Structure 1
Amino acid sequence: MKPLLSLSALIDRINEGVGQAVKWLILVMVIISSGNAAVRYIFNTSSNAWLEWQWYLFAAVFLLCSGYTLLRNEHIRIDVVCGRLSRNKQIWIDILGTVFFLFPMVILIMTLSWPMFMKSFLHNEMSGDAGGLLRWPVKLMIPVGFFLLLLQGTSELIKKIAILTGDRPDPGEHGHHHHTSADGEAV
């Protein structure tokens, strides 16, 4: 179990790093949005490229931080039902949900989005709007974002199994996330 917990810790570090880097895009998005609004009201003009940058940045934050959100246990849950169950049953629900719902959905979206990205990339697809941007970079974020989510789902699955086998301490009844060291110990 120790090598798997080391892999889990590596995945956690990757998604933590991505989340910490991508969060700065929110500030960039706010600056671009504010600047675009100011230019529109002051000079009565606008740019499709700047509007699309806002859209691209929102897509980047949403897609690239999905694994980070799962790492931080900030994803949507049905705690009304799970909160009444024993911790062991909660862990089993997480395991089954990951294997039978998260993994198939993520793999399906990655599989369907890759050809869409490749077609856009090979044709150097541009926005249909005047002054718009290339489309393939934003389309690449779909499979990349879901790959990061797949990685984090794998990490969470490893940690849940390690809790059940006693190879890792349970971070708590409320599912609070604790960082793990390379050997899988809660820090």
Structure 2
Amino acid sequence: MRVLLAISRFIDALNERVGTLVVWLVLAVTLLSAANALMRYIFRYSSNAYLEAQWYLFSLIFLWGAGWTLKHNGHVRVDVLYARFSPRTRLWIDFLGTLLFLLPMVVLTLWLAWPIVAESVRIREWSPDAGGLPRWPIKVALLVGFVLLGLQGISELIKRGLTLAGKLQLEEEKAEEVA
């Protein structure tokens, strides 16, 4: 049990650090978007590299923020139904949803994306647009994002499983008991 909790805590800490980086990426993409708009409308200057950098940063926010969002239970679900269930039923839903849907989807995505990303890295793929950026780094970031999401899924599976077994109490349960 201690080894599982240590693994879970390591994964949680990793995604928490990545989440902190993602917050700064939000600021970066906001500033880049504003600068790009100013350059385009005031100076009549546009660059595909600026546009692609915006897209890449925006993608990184979602790809690398997914694990952090899962850690903080922020993903969208049908809360109208979920909120009416008992805490134990919600644990089972989270546990089975992670085991049967999230982790298989992550594995399938990684399996399907790997050859595409490997080929992109091998040929050092660039944007086909004039003045564009290299494409291979954002494709590698896709794999990193799904690895982070999968790792967080494993962490959540560990925590929910240990809670269902009566060996751990989640923070959400503690908060409900106080309320």
By how many angstroms is 1:175 displaced? 8.2
Q: Residue 61 of structure 1 corresponds to which residue in structure 2?
A: 61
Q: Residue 130 of structure 1 corresponds to which residue in structure 2?
A: 130
User: Does residue 8 of structure 2 align to residue 8 of structure 1?
Assistant: yes
Which amino acid counterpart does residue 133 of structure 2 have in structure 1?
L
By how many angstroms is 1:41 displaced? 0.8
Separation (CA, whole Å) in 2 of partners of 1:12 and 1:62: 17
Which amino acid counterpart does residue 116 of structure 1 have in structure 2?
I
User: Does residue 94 of structure 2 align to residue 82 of structure 1?
Assistant: no
Q: Residue 35 of structure 1 corresponds to which residue in structure 2?
A: 35
Aligned residues with identical type, % of pairs: 49
Aligned-partner SS, 1:172? helix
Normalization by structure 2: what TM-score?
0.94
- Larger mean CA deviation between 24-33 and 161-170 belongs to 161-170
Q: Residue 103 of structure 2 corresponds to which residue in structure 1?
A: 103
Normalization by structure 1: what TM-score?
0.90
Separation (CA, whole Å) in 2 of partners of 1:105 and 1:171: 27
Superposition RMSD on alpha carbons, in Å? Answer: 1.5
User: Does residue 117 of structure 2 align to residue 117 of structure 1?
Assistant: yes
Q: Residue 91 of structure 2 corresponds to which residue in structure 1?
A: 91
Partner deviation per Cα, 1:117-149 (whole Å, 9 max, x = no partner): 111111111101110000000111111100000
Could you say if the C-alpha distance between residues 107 and 82 of structure 1 is closer, same or farther in structure 2, counting changes exceeding 3 Å? Answer: same
Aligned-partner SS, 1:160? helix
Which amino acid counterpart does residue 84 of structure 1 have in structure 2?
R
Contact residue 73 and residue 175 of structure 1 kept, 8 A: no
Contact residue 15 and residue 148 of structure 1 kept, 8 A: yes
By how many angstroms is 1:114 displaced? 1.4
- Larger mean CA deviation between 165-174 and 11-20 belongs to 165-174
Which amino acid counterpart does residue 70 of structure 1 have in structure 2?
L
Q: Residue 73 of structure 2 corresponds to which residue in structure 1?
A: 73
Separation (CA, whole Å) in 1 of partners of 2:163 and 2:10: 18
Q: Residue 47 of structure 1 corresponds to which residue in structure 2?
A: 47
By how many angstroms is 1:22 displaced? 2.0
Partner deviation per Cα, 1:52-76 (whole Å, 9 max, x = no partner): 0000000111101100000011111
* Larger fraction in helix: 2
By how many angstroms is 1:47 displaced? 0.3
Give 5+ residue unaligned stretches, structure 1. Answer: 177-187
User: Does residue 20 of structure 2 align to residue 17 of structure 1?
Assistant: no
Q: Residue 183 of structure 1 corresponds to which residue in structure 2?
A: none
- Larger mean CA deviation between 100-109 and 82-91 belongs to 82-91
Separation (CA, whole Å) in 2 of partners of 1:120 and 1:27: 29
